[in-house]
Chain A
């Protein structure tokens, strides 16, 4: 066991997968010599050399398109995009090619690709460096979308993603890159894609969340006298609706918390499925605490935008009193 930050856990997963499988290679802007903007790939260039840790030109469409080609050729590329806002230039390659190749070729060609991307707000960055676009990619059939909220899950999920035969967007909540440490096994292990985690158990109410917001949920739970069950989705798509159903059937109340704008955020899909599956068990309408339907603001308003423990607490009270 080692006491690691999320960044270190990801770094360790990359090292281990690269040691194990020489089809795994990393591409991206400044990932090599400079170890990446968030230093996630620190030390890898020294260890594996420029053939496997490839510093690319500043060209996201090229990075992802090339990675798709590599994947179709039988390799396991793990490209890094520096910030979620820079997925834009690569969107066409992701959604027009990576996501559709298996279907388009009836399985003759597949794209085992893992795109690592820092995501979300809370580091006082400007727009395009603080967005939460997970629902956009979850809406594209053919992609898997993952977002760990802890170092342990980050390592296990990344290994699963790299080994997964389909394209995975691996969102890394940058706000908690170094926010806390956790015991992480030094040996390899996997955390399955598509399985949620029950962070803490409770009977009165269920909170469903993912990414950095899980931390705010835990703060709100500590303050509350109610018995609250917290579910960290871990995978946005395919999502573990069974875990949500089981919990909400028990508690009858649910608050969904995410950073992305509320309208068409992934919370909307979860709320609908709760309605479909747990209608008779529900004691109150499902509540969402989310980012607002506006462009992610610059840092002076950032804390007003991000769901915080206060807003979650309010929702807990409101639905508890329903």
Chain B
């Protein structure tokens, strides 16, 4: 890895070898990660089917291939730590503990969704689990990440008069590296010393644009963060044990020092950018190389070699997850669609109906009488 002159101190110490921490955790924990990753995978496979069956509308970006990133990083957090991400967000929502049925119902556009079916695939929010979205504008969540970290620090130190002890994780794609918002956010986080970790889920592509076609120093993007005085490191994101091993000390350190960090998390999306992507921009051979390093198979093999799970156990787990996701889909489908009378104006302002102007009742109720409901 290249290191620019004068920025050596912004390197994190090389993470200890794989398994240094995870071997001490016990197989219950690591098996639960296998379960989490398998849940995300199954959820996404079924999401793709539902999209093709036109049960899900809007745009839909699945997380298949990147499961180890969300699961491994979130495992290194405490529940009180805020998390914010972009639109490829189902995996983060599930790894953070959102019930799959709320996540699925959101995509189905149903009232039972985590945002009453108003946000859809790109907008997963979960107050209880401190998930602050799901955001559709590429890079726009990065200043939010700085603000969330500023917020926890302010509350802990200024209001509670204690020590800052929460760490914000802000995920972004490699495409977001090129947005102005990202650079403003990093400068702010570095300058104000905010307890935030920026995790670039570097899957090598921004839609059809390979990273080296879209950004400078594509092989050493950590230098971008170091340019803002932020310490940075690369992590292999295709191996959940490795992700945790590298992330845990990093999270601990940021919690301790309150200073920001940056991770170039190397990963790969196995599927297209969204549901309508013929993937002409990358060779099939490249996909095969990554597919052979499937993070789920990798952990399964490790756990099997440790005797933590056997073939029958693995199959049983798979079945359990299939049922769980199937139930989530049934639940989503049974959840009613929002009605325009109840929902079209609601939640725009604090007043339930919003201060619509010029009419005494919502315009749409007057105009839509008897005409709505084409979409079931």
Residue in contact with A89 in the complex, picked from B181, B215, B281, B375, CB distance below 8 Å: B181
A263: chain B residues at CB < 8 Å are 357-358
- Given the complex of chains A and B, what is the CA–CA distance between A269 and B178 in angstroms? 38
Q: Is the CB of A298 within 8 A of B118?
A: yes
Residue among B117, B140, B368 having the largest count of chain A Cβ atoms under 10 Å: B368
CB distance from B4 to the nearest CB of A (A): 21
Residue among A292, A298, A301, A314 having the largest count of chain B Cβ atoms under 10 Å: A298
A128: chain B residues at CB < 8 Å are 136-137
Q: Is the CB of A55 within 8 A of B180?
A: no
Q: Is the CB of B137 within 8 A of A34?
A: no
CB distance from B338 to the nearest CB of A (A): 6
Q: How many A-B residue pairs have CB under 8 A?
A: 143
Q: Is the CB of A302 within 8 A of B209?
A: no
- Complex interface: stretch among A6-14, A169-177, A304-312: A304-312
Q: Is the CB of B374 within 8 A of A58?
A: no
- Tell me how many residues of B have a C-beta within 8 Å of chain A: 53
Q: Which residues, 238 to 254 on B, are CB-close (under 8 Å) to A?
A: none
Q: Is the CB of A293 within 8 A of B354?
A: yes
Q: Is the CB of B356 within 8 A of A293?
A: yes
Q: Is the CB of A297 within 8 A of B207?
A: no
CB distance from A220 to the nearest CB of B (A): 12
Q: Does A245 contact B (CB under 8 A)?
A: no
CB distance from B85 to the nearest CB of A (A): 16
Q: Is the CB of B345 within 8 A of A292?
A: yes
Q: Does A126 contact B (CB under 8 A)?
A: yes
CB distance from B208 to the nearest CB of A (A): 4
Q: Does A61 contact B (CB under 8 A)?
A: yes
A56: chain B residues at CB < 8 Å are 214
Q: Does B131 contact A (CB under 8 A)?
A: no
A298: chain B residues at CB < 8 Å are 57-58, 109, 117-120
CB distance from B181 to the nearest CB of A (A): 7
- Given the complex of chains A and B, what is the CA–CA distance between A262 and B206 in angstroms? 36
B139: chain A residues at CB < 8 Å are 58, 89
B364: chain A residues at CB < 8 Å are 292, 304-305
- Given the complex of chains A and B, what is the CA–CA distance between A62 and B337 in angstroms? 40
CB distance from B296 to the nearest CB of A (A): 29
Q: Does A124 contact B (CB under 8 A)?
A: yes
Q: Does A225 contact B (CB under 8 A)?
A: no
Q: Residues 346-373 of chain B: 1 if any A CB is under 8 Å from the residue's CB, otherwise 0?
A: 0010000010111000111001100111
A215: chain B residues at CB < 8 Å are none
Beyond the given A293-B345, A314-B371, please list 16 additional residue pairs across the A-B interface where CB-CB is below 8 A.
A29-B207, A57-B209, A58-B179, A61-B179, A61-B180, A126-B119, A292-B345, A292-B363, A293-B348, A295-B348, A297-B344, A300-B337, A300-B338, A301-B344, A304-B368, A311-B368
B residues at A contact (CB < 8 Å): 57-59, 109-110, 117-123, 136-140, 175-176, 178-181, 206-209, 213-215, 280-281, 337-338, 340, 343-345, 348, 354, 356-358, 362-364, 367-368, 371-375
